[in-house]
Structure 1
Amino acid sequence: MLNNQVSKAVRLALAFGAASTAAFSASTFAAEEESAEKVERIEVTGSRIKRTDMETASPVQITTAEEIAVSGFTRVEDMLNSLPQLEASSTAFQSNGATGTATLDLRGMGSQRTLVLINGRRAQAGGIYTQSADVNQIPASLIQRVEVLTGGGSSTYGADAVAGVVNFVMNDKFEGFAVDVGATAYQHDNDNDYIQGLMDDQDFDYPTGSSGLDGSSFDFSATLGGSFDGGKGHAVGYITYNKQNELRQGARDYSSCALNAAGTSCGGSGNAVVPNFYVSSPTDDGAFDWSDYDYWTLDGTGGFENSVGNLYNYAPINHFMRPDERHTFGLFADYEINDNFHPYVEAMFMRDRTTAQIAESGTFFNENYNIDYDSPLLSDQQRQDLTDRFGLTSGDQFATYIGKRNVEGGPRADQLEHNSFRLVLGTEGEINDMWSYDAFVQYGSTSSSSAYINDFFGPRIATALSANGEDCATSDGCIPYEVFEFEGITSEAAGSLTGTAILNGVTEQFIVGGYVTGEFDFGLPSSDYPIAAVFGTEYREETFSRTADEVYAQGLLLGQGGTTKSLNGEYDLTEFYTEVSLPILEDAPFAKSIAVDLGYRWSDYSTSGAEPTYKLALDWNVTDDWKVRTSYNRAVRAANNGELFANQSTGLWGGTDPCATDSPSLSAAQCANTGVSASQYGNVSASPASQYNGFFGGNPDLDPEIADTITFGIVANPFEGFNFSVDYWDIELEDAIGNINPEEIVTNCALTGDAVFCDNVQRTSGSGSLWIGDGQVVATNVNLGKLHWEGVDLSANYDVEIAGGMLKANLIGTYMLSKEYDNIPGVSEAYDCVGTLDNSCFAQPEWRHVLTLSYDMDTFWRATAKWRYFGEVSDYSGDDTLAQGGISSQSYLDLKGSFTINEYTSLLVGVNNVLDKEPPLLGGSLSTNANAIAGYYDTLGRYFHTTISFKF
């Protein structure tokens, strides 16, 4: 029976291609006649039961180290975001609101629903702005493979594995000494006639012709590994360094102006170089009189004039790609004292510094200032204008909201730093011939900081204007703010009005866990195989502490869009779990083998109580070459520290107010539901920057999310050289944790008049604005309704010998069937985001794939071509000219060449996006940065990369 088990295991592994056969060493086959235990078993993501093949009942997409290297990307998130199962999350292509981290988002369900593992164990939270793992800490040079489990994995790994799991398997058995040195750069031909024409209309500057090589980076890694003490021990150490240079939006013509929401003109900000003013007589209580006001700017001759089109093009100075400097180093080591005691250690450290630069600060129409008619800041002509328009005379005051851009003081910048440390101490070994164990203690910590510099310090503005009772003349160091004098502000005066805000935080994760795995000495009567099982327990603590200085906490910097509060929270949980693999039968007609996998996990959270998760999976090998697999998973995600304990505070959201402009998209009656009066209708101003005020924050009473995941797939090797897998998946999530899109709140309030929406729309009294003054939309965290995602994943491989060489083809694709939101069942209308483009939906095409062709003649060179394809996103009901009819399909061609110089040296050169295709451009309310969906579609043009590798 033992010999029979070995031969069946080997045949099963061989049936599914090279990826599976790689799990076997030469000694495995030599020992076939000795015992079944000599078959090398591996742990594949989705189960802790070690098995002899990598094709499990759960669909797992595997990306090898070679594929990672050939991609040419120096950032792990860029490589993984090229997979069709992932959407772009936090990337280097974000500036305004950047966290400084890199996170992964499976299926577009949110990075908080994607569990990131390193060697099968959790990665800690990324820092002060995110509770998701920061993959910056993972050295690309040491990755052996990346396993992406698409579908729930909570019964195996616990919370957060709702959309799936990304497991980075490190090459902790590396032998030798390796050094990789690489460089990358972008290049683009600036020839976009459409957007250049829009900038010509505004007399804006922009680049033309070739950009040359820019946005360059330098990458270095060194790895040393080997065995010691006669092979009992093994250690691998690594060190990496990466330097990414900045690229500003002004380096590309298509990002050199900020498009308006419709995408029909170069918009910008009403906080202009030459300031804009809302001006009125004050009401009896000193407030701005929105029933009788003018919108003025300076006429250049000492007076006021009506402001028409006086906007500031803030785009060029914003970062398109942030500068970044990152150091990592670490150690993986193990030592086999005996068969029963095999201790190991994993230690990883990262230090990352980045700067997120955006346009200069401004007064942002943040506050109503009451200024004396007799103020020395005003000219005689301006006083006369106030008299002529409002009848004001000496001794009176006027009320004003000011929009002045601080171009004299330079751009704002958020200096972000992250220091992460991860340590695992554990031991594994055999209990007896049938059972083994693995026990570990894990500690992970990320300390991070934000120093926001060169932003206007709000309290100083009123003093410098001698407004609202403040007096600059009696304040030490005060320099009058000559905002009413044409180009009258000096850099010294501007500098005296800025401040710095500091935010520091630490997130900590502590885990104690262990499990036993093995086989019983019995099985089902219908099977020759024994029953295999895992029994484990885990205790985990998650702690988060973020300390904001007074400047952040009170929102005293005008360019922050609101307050950033301190946050302190923690929770812990105790878990028990088990998995059982039941071989049902073998060698029956139409059933080479059938096995059922069961899993159950009981998790007791200190915040929300106990929740079970479980799974049921069927693995049916019809023949040696055909497999059918299906699974059901119950997944749970409890709220994280940020969702639970974040203080409620103001911030900004991007989108449109459907009741703004002189021709609102909604009727007067509908807008009345949102708080717009009859006199205000048609007179509510839209934000030129497509940014509005919101009120956001945590909720300690959140319930866990509950998800049910179903998969059904076929894996086959129908003929020599060709194998494929097709997997259908369906994820339905209830009690989704999040906040309703503020624009959706406004729209649903208008359409339904329901208080559940309308109570959260708070317009500025008088103006009806959601961006001037105290107008805002309340969108704090709640348990929403349902999310329903479903689709089909395809993977295919074909190898054929041509002209003395081997041609290999690999296709990975995803077809999305449904991406449905039902935020408040029975109240709001459910909507599907597949193929849909609007402010509530990410640009999710129905079909997306990556096709890779490589040719190798087993000589000194190898060529690779890759076709990355995004299907069209065609369902769009708005009036956006650029998005009319949606986004057309996008294709990108990558070409690579690998060369072996000698036995120690190799060279990789390549160009991604060979045809220099621009990203699809969108209006200001739809883009994520620089008129594009940055980091998802190729963003900066051609990407050149080269790496020289030395291995000894």
Structure 2
Amino acid sequence: MYSNSKIAKAVRLAMIFGAGAATAVSTSAVSAEEEESAEKVERIEVTGSRIKRADMETSSPIQVTSAEDIEISGLTRVEDMLNTLPQIEASSTIFSSNGATGRGGIDMRGLGAHRTLVLINGRRMQPGGGSSGSADANSIPGALVKRVEVMTGGGSSVYGADAVAGVVNFVMDDDFEGLEIDFIGGGYQHNNDNSYIQGLMDEKDFEYPSGSSDIEGQNYGIEITMGSDFADGKGHAVAYATWKRNNEMKFGTRDYTSCALNATATSCGGSGNAVIPNFYLSPLNESGSFDWGNYEYLTLTPDSGFQPSSGNVYNYNPVNFFMRPDERFSFGSFVNYEINDNFMPYMEFMYMRDQTKGQIAESGTFFNEEYRIDYDSPLLSDAQRSYLTDAFGLASGDQFATYIGKRNVEGGARASLIQHDSFRIVLGTEGELNDTWSYDTSIQVGSTTVTNAYINDFFAPRITTALSANGESCADTADCIPYEVFTYQGVTEESAGLLTGVAARSELSDQFIFSAYVTGELDFTMPGADTPVAVVFGTEYRKEEYERIVDEVYDKGLLLGQGGPTHALEGGYSVRELYTEASVPLLEGKEFAESLILELGYRYSDYDTTGSEPTYKIALDWTPVDDWKVRASYNRAVRAPNIGEMFASQGLGLWSGEDPCATDDPSFTAAQCANTGVTAAQYGNIAASPAGQYNGVYGGNPDLAPEIADTLSLGLVGQLTDEIDFSVDYWKIEIDEVIGTVSEDVTLTQCAETGNAAFCDNINRNSGGSLWAGTQGYITATNINLASRKWEGVDITAAYNTELSGNPFSVTLVSTYMMTKEYEPLPGNPDAIYDCSGTISAKCFPQPEWRSVINANYDMGDIGLNAKIRINGEVTNGDYDGDDKDDYLVGTGIGSQTYLDLSVRYTVSENITTRLGINNILDEEPPMTGNTMDPGAFYDQLGRYIHGSVSLTF
């Protein structure tokens, strides 16, 4: 065992691993450790290893966020707090409405939530309800979180699959004693004074808010936590119950989102599915369908005539939810009981119900269906028949074909009503086998049910009936009102209400885990060390099942605003695993080797779907002198394809971007566009999608192979003075056989430039060359094993702790420098590789090279002050298609953005604590981008966030 002084130093160095934790170490805490005898020091398990140690040391870089950090932020959702950390990118959040899942994802390094393993007390969290199996952070009770440990650089050999980017471990306060009731509330406020966007809206005569807003998007809740010993101190139980509610906000509540910007962010654009409809209209060709060689793009005059359409778009932004309404209720308990040192059973139970609503702009016909209309139809005016005769030579008895773009403003917005119900139960026991060996075995069951009702979307068959074509008369159908789309403002609320439908689906996720391991010290030491070798031997069985049940409306894609069908899905897999770890002290108490420890790990995983795959790690932890540490690790991580990637049915969907062969001035040459399927007659005559949305075919692949990742980290940890600690860690993640899709714009670009059939065969244009009008034009982007990805960067943490006027004062820094974020879409094509670090484009989520958080705390006893500075570095425009894209943002990129958060704590009495704070006190706005780019969720979305809380403790 280590001496007492070494224990204290180990504790101090361990705290340096996370700057957030550095402030948690007080002099009294370290002194208490020093006063304990070595024999009484408890062995504990830290994130990154199942070996229980007395020294708390690990070779893996770990960032710690304390419960106090969460409370100071004022954020009621745990995922929002984690998304402010430089190592984490926002995944699905409450700010997602179009395609909302209702889940709160955690995405380390931007590699995807499905490559981030989420644990609770070191055990895998249950799936959040999607086919990817990724966890839902919504079900984490924030009031009971003691700390959050974020370990970067892989962890598959210790915890199993999905730990490619790293591990997030929520450590719960299962030793809590007493009763605590927290009342929390907050809301957003903003001064709408963006002259640039207001000027663009003035040009279009759009409405928008101006001046200082009220406090909007209010959130409030109650968290109750209670804990106590029982059975004369042999047992301890903690229980919690929470209720939280969040009000919605629409895009129209902020001037900078009150209009849909065009692709170049220079004008308020919108959708061709307008209030006054637009029509692609042509005579029938020889095959009896739309003639893309002889058509016109028209809209209506006020007297219901036809005229060429130009600039007739609908500003769909104001209706969309900027932030979804959400109501959540959860409760649970953590119980442990010590029968004796050898048998200490425990139980964890968690339940959550979450209800939310994702609202987006009104439905429409979306040019999805080809309608054939009789020249003599009563829906047409005499002026329209005359136009058809003059333009196409049509006469009585003829038919014409049309694609219609009409927004259902008369029927109201579309919405997705989502409910999550999830629970997690862990039953297990731990204990000592002897003085140096212990065991832990458990059974874990988790389940999540998601119901989704999609309402108020246009029901395709009813539109066809209401247009009364081809002998199918609206008059012969009950409850049918003709769709007066050819009459200027002729559609009524009553008729629109009869044209919508409802789609429903349910998702069921089930997880079962059996786990057992033993850990202890072997009866030998290395020649240069005094501490024995410690090992772990374990086994785990895990079974994951998922089923999505859909109604006929979803399955056949009968709602026009869905972008395609959503099919049923059922699948699952099981995996049997054996694993081991070893901590081998090589040297101790030597010159320039106060401590040198080798860590080894190996896991053998046998999947019933993809076969067996090993994962392993090797790491070194070297302390040359007191207070300095060098750490290095290599991990082989494997991620087996998840259920959705393997078993999802293939079907139509939408992607946002642009077709470089569209418009009358294509950015690709005629020869390049010919590679993508454009004929000479079509070149320069293909309409671009007004909303920047195109068709794609997506789905699973049961023949996928696992992803293989190699992760490397090299770091230095030190204490410059008694007050200043720091750590610097270089990390690199390389993934081969990446499971994903070739992005649509890469497919278009590579096909155009190379003519490679591997790309060109996935482009399917309709008879007019379009990739969006109707459903016959699309790009195939189903799951395959791609080439590779390479991420690398540097994490920096630092902590300064001192006293100011006799009171504790601390400043911490957490910073990440993203050096490389490199995508290789397909092997053997180095020209297709692109790097997203520090850039934004149609391919790249905005990735600042630098992201930093500086935190200052001053504790004056009853009063505590906190100031936080969050910094996102600048982002430049990506140029991966050989053209200049500097005009795709307002300016030449996204400048560095800095947010200042201030908060104060006041302890009223022994039982009452209050907090008040303002995040983004300077009211910084998110960057504005065109409709082909995503400004990202690194940036505060809604302006200032004002929050407060009252805690009652007994």
Ranges in structure 2 where 5+ consecutive residues have no aligned partner: 16-21, 880-884
Counterpart among 814, 817, 826 of residue 816 in structure 2: 814
> Match of 2:348, as an amino acid?
E
Shift of 1:207: 0.6
Residue 832 (structure 1) aligns with: 835
2:918 aligned with 1:916: no
Aligned mates of 1:306, 1:571 — CA distance in 2: 56
Structure 2: distance between partners of 1:427 and 1:501: 45
Q: Distance in 1 between matches of 2:331 and 2:556?
A: 38
Separation in 2, partners of 1:503, 1:401: 29
Letter in 2 for 1:841: C
- Classify the secondary structure of the residue corresponding to 1:162: coil
For the residue of structure 2 that corresponds to 1:204, the secondary structure is: coil
Q: Report matched runs for 1:770-785 at 5 Å.
A: 770-785=772-787
The separation in 2 between residues aligned to 1:852 and 1:905, in whole angstroms, is 25
Partners in 2 of 1:88 and 1:318 — Cα distance? 20
Among 314, 317, 321, which residue is 1:315 paired with? Answer: 317
- What is the letter of the counterpart of residue 901 of structure 1? V
Is the CA contact 1:91–1:103 (under 8 Å) kept in the aligned structure 2? Answer: yes
Change (3 A) 1:883 1:201: closer
Within 5 Å, give how 1:687-766 maps onto structure 2: 687-766=689-768
The letter for the 2-side match of 1:683 is N
Deviations 1:866-916 (A, max 9, x none): 100000112433143525422111100000101100000001100000000
Q: Measure how far apart 1:51 and its partner are.
A: 1.8
Partner of 2:526: helix, strand, or coil? coil
The corresponding residue for 2:541 is 539
Alignment-derived partner of residue 197 in structure 1: 199
Q: How much is the aligned-residue C-alpha RMSD, in angstroms? A: 1.5
Q: Secondary structure at the match of 1:789?
A: strand
Q: 2:459 aligns with which of 457, 460, 464?
A: 457
Q: How many aligned residue pairs are there?
A: 941
Match of 2:40 in 1: 38
User: 1:487-526 maps to which residues of 2 (within 5 A)?
Assistant: 487-526=489-528
Once the two structures are superposed, residues 166-220 of structure 1 have per-residue CA deviations (whole angstroms, 9 ceiling, x without a partner) of 0000001101000000111000111111111111111111111011110111121
- Structure 1 match to 2:851: 848
Deviations 1:28-66 (A, max 9, x none): 65551xxx4421222111101112344410111111111
Q: 1:617 aligns with which of 613, 616, 619?
A: 619
Change (3 A) 1:147 1:771: farther
In the aligned structure 2, how far is the partner of 1:892 from the partner of 1:164? 27
Q: Render the CA deviation track for 1:81-128: whole Å, top value 9, x for unaligned.
A: 000001111001111111110001100011110000111111121114
Q: Name 2:952's counterpart in structure 1.
A: 950
Question: Corresponding residue for 1:12?
Answer: 10
- 1:891 paired with 2:898, answer yes
Higher mean C-alpha deviation, range 103-112 or range 822-831: 822-831
Q: Give the Cα–Cα distance (whole angstroms) in 2 for the partners of residues 915 and 21 of structure 1.
A: 33
Aligned in 2, Cα 1:552/1:569: closer, same or farther, shift over 3 Å? same
Whichever residue aligns with residue 842 of structure 1, its letter is: F
SS in structure 2 at match of 1:555 = coil
Partner of residue 63, structure 1? 65
Name 2:18's counterpart in structure 1.
Answer: none
List per-residue Cα deviations over 1:525-548 (Å, max 9, x = no partner).
Answer: 211001101100000000001111
**Structure 2 CA distance for aligned equivalents of residues 251 and 386 of structure 1:** 43
Give runs of aligned pairs for residues 926-941 of structure 1, distance below 5 A: 926-927=933-934, 932-933=935-936, 935-941=937-943
Distance of 1:16 and 1:113 partners within structure 2? 26
Range moving further from structure 2, 794-803 or 898-907? 794-803
Name the structure 2 match of 1:902: 909
**Percent identity at matched positions?**
59
SS at match of 2:383: helix
Distance 1:504 1:283 in 2: 43
1:151 is matched with which residue? 153
Partner of 1:208: 210
- After superposition, where does 1:86-101 map in structure 2 within 5 Å? 86-101=88-103
Aligned mates of 2:27, 2:47 — CA distance in 1:
16
The amino acid across from 2:851 in the alignment is: R
Question: C-alpha distance in 2, partners of 1:140/1:632?
Answer: 33
Partner of 1:446: 448
Classify the secondary structure of the residue corresponding to 2:294: strand
Q: Which amino acid aligns with 1:661?
A: T
Post-superposition CA distance 1:331-363 (Å, at most 9, x none):
000000011000000000000010000000000
Match of 2:932 among 925, 931, 934: 925
Paired residue secondary structure (2:875): coil
Partner of 2:128: 126
In 2 relative to 1, CA 468–429 (structure 1 residues): closer, same or farther, beyond 3 Å? farther
Measured in 1, the distance between the counterparts of 2:791 and 2:530 equals: 39
1:365 match:
367
> What SS does the corresponding residue of 1:505 show, helix, strand or coil?
strand
1:771 shift after superposition:
4.2
Aligned partners of 2:662, 2:721: CA distance in 1, in Å? 62
Evaluate the alpha carbon distance shift between residue 190 and residue 14 of structure 1 in structure 2; reply closer, same or farther with a 3 A threshold: closer
Secondary structure at the counterpart of residue 309 of structure 1: coil
**Please, which of 238, 241, 244 is the counterpart of residue 242 of structure 1?**
244
Q: Distance in 2 between matches of 1:536 and 1:379?
A: 78
Query: Aligned equivalents of 1:70 and 1:363: distance in 2?
Result: 48
| 1:575-724 map, 5 Å | 575-724=577-726
Shift of 1:229: 1.1
Does the C-alpha gap of structure 1 residues 23 and 427 become closer, same or farther in structure 2, counting only changes over 3 Å?
Answer: farther
Match of 2:552 in 1: 550
Counterparts of 2:457 and 2:772, CA distance in 1: 22
| 1:880 counterpart SS class | helix
Match of 1:333 in 2: 335
Rounded to whole Å, the distance in 2 between the matches of 1:795 and 1:11 is: 18
Q: CA deviation at 1:469?
A: 4.1
The farther-off stretch of 849-858 and 454-463 is 849-858
Residues 884 and 671 (structure 1), Cα distance of their counterparts in 2 relative to 1, 3 Å cut: farther
Shift in CA distance, 767/823, structure 1 to aligned 2, threshold 3 Å? closer
One-letter code aligned to 1:665:
S
Give me the TM-score of the superposition, normalised by structure 1: 0.97
The gaps in structure 1 that reach 5 residues or longer are: none
